Amino acid sequence: MTNKKNAIIVIKRYDEEGGHAHHGGGWKVAYADFMTAMMAFFLLLWILAASDEEKLRGLANYFTPTLSDNGTSSDAASDLRPLAAPGILTGAQDVTGSVKVPSFGRDNPMMVFDSRLRDNPPEFVVEYLDSEEPSNPEDAAAEKAADLRRLEIDQMADEIAERINSDAALSDLARNVRLEKSNGALTVQVLDQDERSLFASGSAEVSAKTRELLLAIGDVIAAQSQPVEIVGHTDAATYGSDNGYTNWELSADRANATRRTLIAAGIAPARFMRISGVADTQPIDTADLFAPENRRISIRLVFQAD
């Protein structure tokens, strides 16, 4: 029989906290804490996303020490302001040195929570005032000169039209005159019509009626001082003679005949800067090169040199 007094006593101890190493249940507690924290975090995000501006402001005031304007605490979102004044650190210590105190969230605590308030551009209106004085005096002088030139051209065109329309002997020739105004010149086109030709066919001799019309135009131009250019034009009709006399010679002779008539009207010869003939190379009616209006004399008053 075994002697129980002398028996070896074996004591087994169990670790109640650890369990069986990694087979224990301690990790479950850590996982539960993590899931609780994550749920709280997502709940906070949901509250921020679903709340309006007033609720966000109240939430910001809850986490920001604030006072009302009268120095007492308040729950109203409209009258709360930051507890610390600008430039004062926590603990009411004066700011010393050149270190600038951060002001993010101090003036408007909602900006900490709502990125829509942080990222929006500032609301302001930019107005541009028209300067009374031009930035470049040379440009202002050039614009003034151009306005004056356009006024002179308009006045000259009106005078020529009035001179022809007021003369009973010339009023029926008004359709033979066309005035073309540009920025630097006034061109008086004296052209043929179906029922009346200013020059006989193939001739540079000025008819009596055409002479009266040119004298009336020259009478108005003589009172001015602008240089004058005259260009003769013909249609595309050719001649069967073999003497070498073509539309080039005919257009130039008609331009010279017009120059002599304008000199008789009182225009100084020195004012003529160009007399030329271009034959049928510059037609008005490009669809019909034989059209009557292609036969014409162009008298150009140059108000600005090209």
Q: What is the 3-state secondary structure (H, E, C) of 7-42?
A: CCCCCCCCCCCCCCHHHCCHHHHHHHHHHHHHHHHH
pLDDT at 123 over 70: no
The more confident residue out of 195 and 180 is: 180
Question: Which residue ranges form the domains of the chain, and what is each CATH number?
Answer: 25-119 (no CATH), 137-302 (3.30.1330.60)
Q: Which residues contact 112 (CB under 8 A, 6 or more apart)?
A: 60, 104, 105
pLDDT at 291 over 70: yes
Q: Which helix (H) or strand (E) holds 144?
A: helix 137-165
Distance CA(124)–CA(119), nearest Å, equals 15
pLDDT at 221 over 90: yes
Rounded to two decimals, the pTM is 0.55
pLDDT at 296 over 80: yes
User: Integer distance in angstroms from the first to the last C-alpha of the chain?
Assistant: 144
Distance CA(33)–CA(38), nearest Å, equals 9
The more confident residue out of 259 and 166 is: 259
Question: Averaged over 148-170, what is the pLDDT?
Answer: 88
- The whole-number pLDDT of residue 220 equals 92
- Dump pLDDT digits (tens) for 35-92: 999 999 988 888 777 777 777 777 677 766 555 555 555 555 444 445 445 544 444 4
Phi, psi for residue 191 in degrees, rounded to 5: -130, 160
Q: Which helix (H) or strand (E) holds 178?
A: strand 177-181
Distance CA(250)–CA(256), nearest Å, equals 10
